[in-house]
Every structure is written in structure tokens, then in C-alpha cells.
């Protein structure tokens, strides 16, 4: 039987830390399929007679459960270790596909929502946080880069899943039976792929340090602490709640486009001389996934150099300006629309991958995985808020007889306001007050003082 206890996954001497990011990627590339949900929206709507708002329910519930399972399971994941967490994620995520397949086959949409949204969403949350603390411990010298590599997989999962889903639907059928077969195939294939991460992951010994490296930070260190803050105490700090607002606003602004990407670009240019085909719309989803994926690595790695606060100024401030360009330009230029959306999604992805490093800077590594899990409730909120804003406004505008960019302009202005709120919250972040720090044992205090003297 596979040993699941944390103590059984301690790496032996000579283990390469560079084997851990591929283990994390095996999980994140699979669960990142959630970002390709928009490919399933049109066939579900046509085969089951659903509205755009209704077809978003599995995705919305999955994001809600992601945040809730990450928040409530974060401390347990820290205690039981990454292998246990990755196995739980694999079982929940893949069985969710199987339940959703049953729902599509029997035309019981509530089973699709239950399977993909509730059960699969638990797999999303546990899988998302499972490698974060482990990666930060393996890469204390480059936390932004390390978390960016893994979380990049979540953003890039749709880059694989989007064309794969479209191909399966073309081959197996876009009716309810074809959707069921597609869900079944994806659940089984992902189970095999995710198992590779379960087998490969290791945690470092308690006294392990990266050889020949110094603590990272060419980055500005004003907000970087050597103290440790527990998950319980972190919730009592204004810094945590400012980060919660920042993440919620950034995610809402990105997820509103991502969840409705395929129908959005088709609607936006439907009244032009060159409307967007279904294949091109699926390609747009893939492009956004690529931007999301690359942004998670590139921007979080950059944050090791320029600091977390500065990089969030970029995400939120420039993101608001890009939304303004989209709102004002309308359907005048497809390349401009695609370019702005891609950069917004790169900021969206970068916001996710930089968050664990920002938490590490502010609260230390003591319970950073558990704190990260609690922070992801902001994602749950945004997972409801973003699609609800975009879908509800688009549905109401369509009912009023409007079309094209008019379906989305109001949503874009709302996103601008939310990003401004996030920008202000980022400016309010200061170092955590020492009263929230954990007591340092005398031997560790001496070690810290010796390191500081060097």
C-alpha cells in the first residue's frame, strides 16, 4: 500500500528538489481543466436547454468548493503532507467527472452540478494547495519562481483541456450522450496522469537548506519578515484581509472573461463582417489559457526581483486601464480585443502565483499552506461574483434586444471599479505587527541572530 504519512515522504539524501515542481505540475495541469469549462457551455445549453447563467453553475460551484475546501482543509494538508493531499485531490476530481458523466447521460443536470461542481471542486481546492507549502520549503531562495512553476500548471491546464475537449465533443457528439462520454474519458485519463504526482512528491528534511544559495532577495525587503505567524493569528491581521480583497478583485476581473471566453468573443464580433467561428472561439480560450499560464510563471518570478507590492500595482493598475480600452474600443479591432484580454489574463494568473510568496513575505513559512488555503476563500467569492456579473448582465442586455459589445460594456466598467478597490487595498499593506508573531525558541533565536550577523 502506498505510504501516505508525511514522515514517509521525507526525501532521502541527494534528492533533487527539481523533481518536486513536476510532481506539482501533474496535479495542477489536470485540475486546471476547470478553466476550459466555457467549451462545454454551448453544447450543454443546446442539449439541455440551459441559459448562460445556468450553464455556468458547475464552474461557479467548483470555484466555491475550491476556496472552501482549501480553507477548511489547509491545516489538515499541512499536517498530513502533500502525498495524502494529492491522492484526495485525484479521487475527488476524477470521481466528479464520472458523476457528471452520469448526469449528462441521464439528462439530470443537477448531477452534473453535483459531480463537476461539488465533488470535483473539493478536488480542485485540496489539489491546488497541496504542493504550495512544500515548494516554498524546497525553494526558500526563490519562492515566487517555485510557486509560479506549479501554479502555472493550473493556468495552463485549459491549454490542453480546451482543444482536447473540443476534439472529444466532435468525435463523440455534442449531445447529452456525447458530453457524458467526454466526461468519462477525461475523468479516467486525468486519474492516471495525477497519480504520477502522487508517486513522485517528497518533502525536505526539517534541517534541509539549499546548497550554495543565499536567501532570495534581490527583491525589496520592506515587507519581508523572518518571524513566523500562525494561520489563526494571520486572520487577525489587516494584512491578511487586504490580501483577501486584492485577490478577490483581481480574480473577479479575470474570471469574468475566462468563464465566458468562447461565447464572449463570438458575441462581441457577431455583427461584424468577420464573425468568430466556434473553432476560433475555442482557440481564443486556448490563447487565454496560455497567457494565464505564462503570466503565472513570468510575473511571479519577476516579483522575486521587484517585490510583491510592486507587481500587484502592475496587475491591478494596468489591468484597469486595459479594461477601459476594451470598453471604449468595442468591436473595432479583433487583435486589440485579443491582446488586451490576454494581458488581463496574464495578470490574473500572476496574481494567483504571487500570492503564496506574498504570504510567505508577510507571515513566514510556519503555516503558509494553511494561510494560503484560507486566502482562497477570496477565489470562491470571485468565482461566483465574476461569472454572475458577466452572465447576468449579458442575459439582461440580450433580453432587451442588444447585441455585440453592448452585452459586455457595463460588465467591463464594473471590473474597472473592482480593480481600483484592489489597488487601494494593496497600497494599505504594511509589515505585520510583532504581537502576531509566534514565540521563537531560544536555540532558533540564536541561529537567526547568527545568520543576521553574517
φ and ψ at residue 10, rounded to 5 degrees: -65, 130
Vertex 342 angle, CA 319 and 193, to 5°: 120
Task: Taking the CA atoms of 42, 67, 338 and 404 in sequence, report the sign of the dihedral they define.
Answer: positive
Distance CA 87, CA 195 (A): 7
Whether 239 contacts 432, CB under 8 Å:
yes
Distance CA 15, CA 27 (A): 20
Q: Report the pLDDT value the prediction gives residue 441, as an integer from 0 to 100.
A: 52
Q: Report the pLDDT value the prediction gives residue 398, as an integer from 0 to 100.
A: 86
Q: Report the pLDDT value the prediction gives residue 452, as an integer from 0 to 100.
A: 40
Phi/psi region, residue 273 (left: phi>0; alpha: psi -120 to 50; beta: rest), is: alpha
Whether 286 contacts 162, CB under 8 Å:
yes
Q: Quick one: which of 245, 201, 218, 234 has its CA closest to 11? A: 201
Q: Report the pLDDT value the prediction gives residue 221, as an integer from 0 to 100.
A: 56
Determine how many CB atoms are found less than 10 A away from the CB of residue 291.
24
Within 278-401, residue ranges assigned H as helices are 278-306, 308-313, 319-329, 334-363, 368-375, 377-399
Q: Cell numbers at residue 5, please?
A: 504519512
Whether 143 contacts 136, CB under 8 Å:
yes
Query: E strand or H helix at 253, and its extent?
Result: helix 238-259
What is the DSSP code (8-state) at residue 229?
Answer: -
What is the DSSP code (8-state) at residue 315?
Answer: I
Distance CA 215, CA 141 (A): 5
As a whole number of Å, the CA-based R_g of the chain is 22
Q: Cell numbers at residue 137, please?
A: 520549503
For residue 364, the Cα-to-chain-centroid distance in whole angstroms is 22
Helix or strand or coil: residue 218?
coil
Q: What is the pLDDT along the chain (454 residues), one digit of tens a residue?
A: 567 777 788 888 888 888 999 999 999 999 989 978 888 998 999 999 998 889 989 998 998 898 889 888 888 888 888 999 999 999 999 999 999 999 999 999 999 999 999 999 999 999 988 888 788 888 888 888 888 888 888 877 877 888 899 999 999 998 999 999 999 999 999 999 999 999 999 988 877 887 765 444 444 555 676 778 998 999 999 999 999 999 999 999 998 887 788 888 988 888 888 888 888 887 887 788 788 888 999 999 999 999 999 999 999 999 999 999 999 998 889 999 999 999 999 999 999 899 999 999 999 888 888 899 899 889 888 888 888 899 899 989 989 988 888 999 999 999 999 999 999 999 999 999 888 888 865 444 434 433 443 4
Buried b (16+ CB within 10 A) or exposed e, 337-353: bbebbbbbbbbbbbbbb
Q: Report the pLDDT value the prediction gives residue 222, as an integer from 0 to 100.
A: 59
Q: Long-range CB contacts (< 8 A, 24+ apart) of 192-196?
A: 193/26, 193/29, 193/30, 194/26, 194/27, 194/30, 194/86, 194/89, 194/90, 194/93, 194/94, 194/127, 195/90, 196/23, 196/26
Widest pairwise Cα distance in the chain = 73
The strand pairing partners of 188, in sequence order, are: none
Within 201-237, residue ranges assigned H as helices are 231-234
Distances (CA, A) of 228 to 225, 247, 432: 8, 22, 10
Whether 154 contacts 128, CB under 8 Å:
yes
Distance CA 126, CA 123 (A): 5
The strand pairing partners of 10, in sequence order, are: 203
- Residue 425, classified by CB atoms within 10 Å of its CB into exposed (0-12), middle (13-18) or buried (19+), is buried
Amino acid at each position: 500500500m502506498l505510504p501516505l504519512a508525511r514522515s514517509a515522504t521525507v526525501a532521502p539524501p541527494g534528492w533533487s528538489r527539481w523533481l518536486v515542481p513536476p510532481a506539482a505540475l501533474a496535479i495542477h495541469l489536470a485540475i486546471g481543466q476547470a478553466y476550459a469549462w466555457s467549451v462545454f457551455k454551448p453544447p450543454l445549453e443546446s442539449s439541455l436547454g440551459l441559459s448562460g447563467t445556468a450553464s455556468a453553475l458547475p464552474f461557479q460551484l467548483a470555484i466555491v468548493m475550491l476556496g472552501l475546501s482549501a480553507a477548511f482543509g489547509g491545516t489538515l494538508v499541512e499536517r498530513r503532507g502533500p502525498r495524502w493531499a494529492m491522492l484526495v485531490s485525484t479521487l475527488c476530481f476524477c470521481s466528479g467527472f464520472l458523476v457528471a458523466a452520469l448526469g449528462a447521460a441521464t439528462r439530470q443536470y443537477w448531477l452534473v452540478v453535483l459531480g463537476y461542481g461539488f465533488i470535483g471542486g473539493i478536488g480542485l481546492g485540496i489539489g491546488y494547495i497541496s504542493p504550495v507549502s512544500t515548494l516554498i520549503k524546497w525553494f526558500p531562495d526563490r519562492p515566487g519562481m517555485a510557486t509560479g512553476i506549479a501554479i502555472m500548471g493550473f493556468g495552463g491546464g485549459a491549454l490542453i483541456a480546451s482543444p482536447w475537449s473540443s476534439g472529444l465533443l466532435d468525435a463523440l457528439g455534442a449531445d447529452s450522450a456525447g458530453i457524458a462520454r467526454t466526461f468519462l474519458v477525461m475523468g479516467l485519463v486525468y486519474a492516471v496522469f495525477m497519480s504520477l504526482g502522487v508517486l513522485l512528491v517528497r518533502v525536505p528534511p526539517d534541517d534541509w537548506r539549499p546548497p550554495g544559495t543565499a536567501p532570495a532577495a534581490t527583491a525589496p525587503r520592506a515587507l519581508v519578515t523572518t518571524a513566523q505567524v500562525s494561520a489563526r493569528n494571520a486572520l487577525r491581521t489587516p494584512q491578511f484581509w487586504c490580501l483577501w480583497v486584492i485577490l478577490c478583485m483581481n480574480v473577479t476581473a479575470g474570471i469574468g472573461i475566462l468563464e465566458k471566453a468562447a461565447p464572449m468573443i463570438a458575441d462581441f464580433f457577431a455583427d461584424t463582417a468577420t464573425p468568430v467561428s466556434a473553432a476560433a472561439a475555442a482557440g481564443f480560450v486556448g490563447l487565454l489559457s496560455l497567457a494565464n499560464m505564462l503570466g503565472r510563471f513570468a510575473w511571479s518570478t519577476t516579483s522575486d526581483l521587484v517585490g510583491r507590492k510592486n507587481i500587484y500595482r502592475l496587475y491591478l493598475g494596468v489591468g484597469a486601464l486595459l479594461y477601459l480600452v476594451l470598453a471604449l474600443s468595442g468591436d473595432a479591432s479583433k487583435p486589440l480585443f485579443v491582446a488586451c484580454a490576454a494581458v488581463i489574463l496574464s495578470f490574473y494568473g500572476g496574481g494567483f502565483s504571487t500570492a503564496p510568496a506574498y504570504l510567505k513575505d508577510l507571515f513566514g513559512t510556519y503555516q503558509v499552506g494553511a494561510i494560503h488555503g484560507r486566502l482562497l476563500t477570496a477565489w470562491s467569492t470571485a468565482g461566483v461574483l465574476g461569472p454572475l456579473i458577466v452572465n447576468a448582465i449579458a442575459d439582461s442586455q440580450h433580453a432587451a434586444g442588444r447585441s455585440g459589445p453592448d452585452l459586455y460594456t457595463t460588465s467591463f466598467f464594473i471590473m474597472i471599479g473592482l480593480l481600483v478597490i484592489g489597488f487601494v487595498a494593496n497600497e494599505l499593506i504594511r509589515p505585520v505587527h510583532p504581537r502576531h508573531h509566534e514565540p521563537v525558541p531560544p536555540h532558533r533565536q540564536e541561529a537567526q541572530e547568527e545568520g543576521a550577523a553574517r
